[in-house]
A and B are shown apart, each in its own frame.
Chain A
C-alpha cells in the first residue's frame, strides 16, 4: 500500500486541520486537547488563588470601611448603637456583603465616658461572600473582618 505523501501544500500554509487529509486528521485528533488538559490547571492554579485573595482583601477593606462609618457614629457625643448598626447595614448592603455583623468592645459602650477607646469590628462569613469559582479555594469558613479603633468624643 502506498502511503500518502504529505506535501508542503498540505501543511505549510496553515495549521488548520481541515487542510489535512482525513487519515492524518483522524490520527492527530485530540492531541491539543490532551495537552491543554495537562497545561491549563497550571494557569488555573495561578489565576484562581489571585482572584480569591483579591476578592477577600476587597471584602475586608469594605468591612473595615463600614466599621469605620459605624465607629464615627458611636464615637460622636450623641451617637447611638442602633444608628451605628443601621449605618453599617446600609454600607455592607451597598457593598454586596451578606450576613455581615457588627461587634463592639467594650460591651458596655453605651456608658463610655469621653476619651475611652473602643473597638468596632465588622465581620462576614466566607460562605456566601466568596467568588463563584469552579474550585473551592477556601479551606475554612473563617470570618473576614475589618476592625477600627476609636475614642469616644466629648
Chain B
C-alpha cells in the first residue's frame, strides 16, 4: 500500500507543471497581442491627427513643406506615453516611421479616391509605423511592425438649401397663431379696406403671406442671409443652390393688390441652381415669397429632398465636390413618402443630409431619423437666433473629411 501511495504523490504537481508551459505561452501571446493592439490604436490616432491638421493647413494655403514638417512632428509626438509635460517621454519619436503624401481626392459615383500627386493639392495621407514588442517570459524577444494610415481630403462643397414653404411658415412663431395678429399685419391692406366685403375676409390674406416680423418665415430669412454671408467668408468656394417645397395645391388667395386670384403651389421648386452669388439667391427668394407667390400648401419633405438630390447630382454641380443638403422644416410631413427614405437615397449617391427643425411644432424624431439615414446631423432651433447659429455652424463645418 505504501508503494501505491508513493506512486501517486506529485501527480497534481506534474499535471500543473505540464500545464504551466502552455499557460505561460498563451499568456505571453495575449500580452503581445494586447501590446500590438495598443500600438495599432496609437498609430491610427497619430495618423488621423496629423492628416486632419494637414488638410486644414492645405485649405489655409500654408506652404506644403511647412505642412509636411508640422504633420510629421504631430505624428511622432503622438507616440509619447510619458509624463504630460514631457513631450519626448515614452516611445522614442525617432523610432516612429512617418510617411507623408500630398495628392488629389476625386469624387464620383459615390466613390472617394485619393491619388498621390496631381494638382491642385487638396488631400494629405499620413502613414505611421512603429515596432511593437512581442513578449516572451516577461521580456521582449522581438517586434512586429505596426502600421496605420489616414487620408484626409480638404474638399469643396456644393450646398443645397432645402426650405419649407408650407402654409405653417406664415404662423406666428411666438404665439403660434396668425389670427391674433391679423389686424397688425403691415401689409394686410384688406384689414384696412373701406370695402366691408374685403375687410371681412382679411383672414384669407393673412393665410397667404408671411408676417414680416412675427412669422416663422420672417424669423428664418435673417438666418439664411447669415448663411450666405458666412459662405462668402469661408476659405472654400462653395456652390449654393436653393430648393423650396410644400405640396401641390390650387387655392384662391388675395394678392398684394387685393385681387382675388387662383394660386398654385408646386410640390417642390428649384429657386436657384448652383451659384457662387449667394446673396442674390437669398434676395430673390425673399422677394418672390414676400410679394409674388403665396406661402401655402402642405409639407412634402420627401419631394424637397428628391429635388435637392437631383440638383446636387445634376450638371451644374461639381463632380469632385462634397455634397451637403441642409433641409429646413417647421412642421411635420403630411404629404408624400417618408422623408428618411428620400434621405437614404440621397446618401446612397454621396449626399450628406443635415436636418434643421424650427418651432415647437416640428416633428423632431422624424427629422433625427432623416438625418441619420442621410448620414448627416440634426439640429433644432426654437427661434430665429438659434436657427442663425445652426446655419453658421453648418457653413463652418470643417471641410476636411477622412477618406481612408
Interface string of B2-20 (1 = CB under 8 A from A): 0011001111110011011
* Whole-angstrom distance between the Cβ of A74 and the nearest chain B Cβ: 12
A 24-67 contacts with B by CB, 8 A: 24, 27-28, 31-32, 35-36, 38-40, 42-43, 46-47, 50, 53-54, 57-58, 60-61, 64-65
Q: A123: nearest residue on chain B (CB-CB)?
A: B84
For A39, A78, A103, A121, which residue has the most chain B Cβ atoms within 10 angstroms?
A39
Residues of the A chain whose Cβ atoms lie less than 8 Å from the Cβ of B56: 153-154
CA distance A39 to B53 in the complex (A): 55
Q: Is A99 engaged at the interface, CB distance under 8 Å to the other chain?
A: no
Residues of the A chain whose Cβ atoms lie less than 8 Å from the Cβ of B48: 68
A32 contacts B60, CB within 8 Å? no
Q: Which among A84-92, A129-137, A142-150 touches the partner chain?
A: A142-150
Residues of the A chain whose Cβ atoms lie less than 8 Å from the Cβ of B94: none
Q: B40: nearest residue on chain A (CB-CB)?
A: A61
Please classify the interface of chain A as helix (H, G, I), strand (E, B), loop, or mixed, using the class held by over half of its residues. helix
A145 contacts B84, CB within 8 Å? yes
Residues of the B chain whose Cβ atoms lie less than 8 Å from the Cβ of A54: 30-31, 34
B31 contacts A53, CB within 8 Å? yes
A43 contacts B19, CB within 8 Å? yes
Q: Is B38 engaged at the interface, CB distance under 8 Å to the other chain?
A: yes
B396 contacts A77, CB within 8 Å? yes
A 89-114 contacts with B by CB, 8 A: 103, 105, 114
Contact of A103 among B16, B42, B84, B398 (CB under 8 A): B84
Q: Which among B74-82, B194-202, B307-315 touches the partner chain?
A: B74-82
CA distance A152 to B12 in the complex (A): 62
Q: For the side of the interface on B, what is the size category?
A: 35 or more
Interface string of A68-88 (1 = CB under 8 A from B): 100110011110000000000
CA distance A4 to B258 in the complex (A): 124
B5 contacts A28, CB within 8 Å? yes
A31 contacts B8, CB within 8 Å? yes
Residues of the A chain whose Cβ atoms lie less than 8 Å from the Cβ of B1: 3-4, 6, 24, 27
A24 contacts B4, CB within 8 Å? yes
CA distance A154 to B52 in the complex (A): 12
A57 contacts B53, CB within 8 Å? no
Residues of the A chain whose Cβ atoms lie less than 8 Å from the Cβ of B393: 78
Contact of B87 among A24, A57, A115, A149 (CB under 8 A): A149
CA distance A148 to B45 in the complex (A): 8
Residues of the B chain whose Cβ atoms lie less than 8 Å from the Cβ of A76: 398
Interface string of B55-67 (1 = CB under 8 A from A): 0110010100000
CA distance A153 to B396 in the complex (A): 12
Q: A47-B23, A64-B41 are in contact. List 20 more A-B contacts (CB 8 A).
A: A31-B8, A31-B9, A42-B16, A46-B20, A50-B27, A54-B30, A57-B35, A58-B34, A61-B41, A61-B42, A71-B49, A77-B396, A115-B70, A145-B84, A147-B80, A147-B84, A148-B45, A149-B77, A150-B53, A151-B74
Q: Could you write out 6 A-B pairs with CB less than 8 Å apart?
A: A32-B12, A35-B16, A61-B41, A65-B41, A71-B49, A115-B62
Across the A-B interface, give the 9 residue pairs with the lowest CB-CB distance, nearest first: A39-B16, A35-B12, A153-B56, A54-B34, A50-B27, A149-B77, A32-B12, A68-B45, A61-B41
